[in-house]
Amino acid sequence: MIRKIYFLFINLLLFTGIIPAQQLNNKNNLKFKNISLQDGLSQSSVLCVLQDKNGFIWFGTRDGLNKYDGNSFKIYRYNSIDSTSISNSYIKALHEDKDGNLWIGTTHGLNKFNRKEDNFERYIFKDTANSYQDEIWDIENDGASHLIIATNNGLH
């Protein structure tokens, strides 16, 4: 009986606006920061986000891979005369494996970021004739040390 009275009392307060419902539901009072082109983001449509083990936040956009340290951005884009650049600037998937390797899926294939050299290694799927054209949709682990790559040509 006491529970019913308490429940009715809380509902009455909520419906009359004395206690805002948001205040009861949001115990952590989450705060959001808008990061935009003015802050250095390469493009406003962010397609994927990952925070790596070192604390960097990586944003995949249609205009490059953005590495954010909390203050500024470093942007990685495809460069046709640099074979160590990312395979395409349209970034669709990000994944960090258990060894701390950063894997990047683009509209033109799979890449692994070389942290020491600050460049990329491009990967080709042996069972696909046109693997450079494989559009990567997602990258996951299988629970062991294998990556599962979702592409427009199936799973690899």
Return the domain boundaries, the chain.
1-31, 37-155
Where does 19-81 show beta strands of DSSP type E? 46-51, 57-61, 64-68, 73-76
The pLDDT assigned to 103 comes to 96
Q: Which CATH class is domain 37-155?
A: mainly beta
Give the pairing type, strands 102-106 and 64-68.
unpaired
Tell me the pTM.
0.76
Tokens (6 digits) for 26:
């949001």
Q: What is the pLDDT of residue 4?
A: 45
Q: Which amino acid is at 118?
A: D
Q: What is the pLDDT of residue 25?
A: 59
pLDDT along the chain (156 residues), means of 10: 47 49 61 84 93 96 96 96 96 94 94 96 71 78 83 81
Handedness of CA 118, 84, 111, 48 (dihedral sign): positive
What is the model's pLDDT at position 130?
54
104 touches 86 (CB < 8 A): yes
Give me the pLDDT at residue 118, please: 96
Q: How many residues does the chain have?
A: 156
